[in-house]
Amino acid sequence: MEAAYCRTTGSEFHATLREFDTDPDVDGLLVLATPDGAFTPAAVDETLRELSTPVFGGLFPKVIYDGAAHADGAVVAGIDVEPTVETIATADEPLEADTDGDDETAFVFVDAYADDGDQFVQQLFNAYGVAYTYIGGGAGTFDGDRRHCLFTPDGLVGDAAVVAMVAAESTIGVEHGWTDIGGPFEITSADGRRLKTLDGQPAYDRYAAIIDAETDRTVTTETFAEIATSHPFGISRLGAERIVRDPFAVDDDGSLRCFGDLPEGEFVHVLQGDPETLVDAADRAHAAASEGARTDSAVITFDCLSRARYLDGDFDRELAALSQTANTIGALTIGEVANDGRGHLEYYNKTAVVGAIDGL
Stretch that binds other proteins, among 66-74, 169-177, 213-221, 257-265 (CB under 8 A): 257-265
Stretch that binds other proteins, among 65-73, 152-160, 203-211, 236-244 (CB under 8 A): 236-244
182 forms part of the interface with other proteins (CB under 8 A):
no
Max Cα-Cα span within the chain? 61
130 forms part of the interface with other proteins (CB under 8 A):
yes
Minimum Å distance from CB 171 to other proteins? Answer: 13
237 forms part of the interface with other proteins (CB under 8 A):
yes
| Subset of 315-354 contacting other proteins (CB under 8 A) | 341-344, 346
199 forms part of the interface with other proteins (CB under 8 A):
no
Strand partners, 1: none
Provide the 8-state DSSP code for 318: H
294 forms part of the interface with other proteins (CB under 8 A):
no
DSSP string, 213-269: HHSS----TTTHHHHHHHS-EEEEETTEEEEEEEEEEE-TTS-EEEES---TT-EEE
49 forms part of the interface with other proteins (CB under 8 A):
no
Minimum Å distance from CB 186 to other proteins? Answer: 9
Q: Alpha helices of the chain — where are they, by DSSP H?
A: 11-22, 41-50, 117-128, 203-214, 224-230, 275-290, 305-311, 315-322
Q: What gap in Å lies between CA 71 and CA 179, rounded to an integer?
A: 29
122 forms part of the interface with other proteins (CB under 8 A):
yes
Q: What is the residue type of 333?
A: T
Q: Alpha helices of 108-202 — where are they, by DSSP H?
A: 117-128
List CB contacts of 264: < 8 A, sequence separation 6 or more.
Answer: 187, 188, 189, 190
Residues 87, 179, 236, 277: which binds other proteins (CB under 8 A)? 236
Stretch that binds other proteins, among 53-61, 110-118, 234-242, 276-284 (CB under 8 A): 234-242
Looking at the Cβ atoms of 161 and 219, the one nearer to other proteins is 161
Question: Distance from CA of residue 70 to its chain's centroid?
Answer: 16
Provide the 8-state DSSP code for 168: -
249 forms part of the interface with other proteins (CB under 8 A):
no
Q: What is the residue type of 101?
A: G
Residues 27, 43, 67, 129: which binds other proteins (CB under 8 A)? 129
**Enclosing H/E stretch for 332:** strand 329-333
Q: Do the beta carbons of residue 150 and residue 161 sit within 8 Å?
A: yes
Residues 99, 145, 226, 276: which binds other proteins (CB under 8 A)? 99
Q: What is the residue type of 352?
A: A
List CB contacts of 110: < 8 A, sequence separation 6 or more.
Answer: 117, 120, 121, 136, 137, 138, 139, 160, 161, 335, 337, 347
For other proteins (CB under 8 A), the number of binding residues is 28
Strand partners, 135: 107, 338
Stretch that binds other proteins, among 2-10, 73-81, 123-131, 271-279 (CB under 8 A): 123-131
Q: Do the beta carbons of residue 353 and residue 108 sit within 8 Å?
A: no
266 forms part of the interface with other proteins (CB under 8 A):
yes
287 forms part of the interface with other proteins (CB under 8 A):
no
Residues 263, 291, 292, 296: which binds other proteins (CB under 8 A)? 263
Minimum Å distance from CB 149 to other proteins? Answer: 26
Binding mask 135-174 for other proteins (x = CB under 8 A): ----------------------------------------
Looking at the Cβ atoms of 124 and 149, the one nearer to other proteins is 124
Binding residues vs other proteins (CB under 8 A): 94-95, 97, 99, 122, 125-131, 184, 236-240, 263-267, 341-344, 346
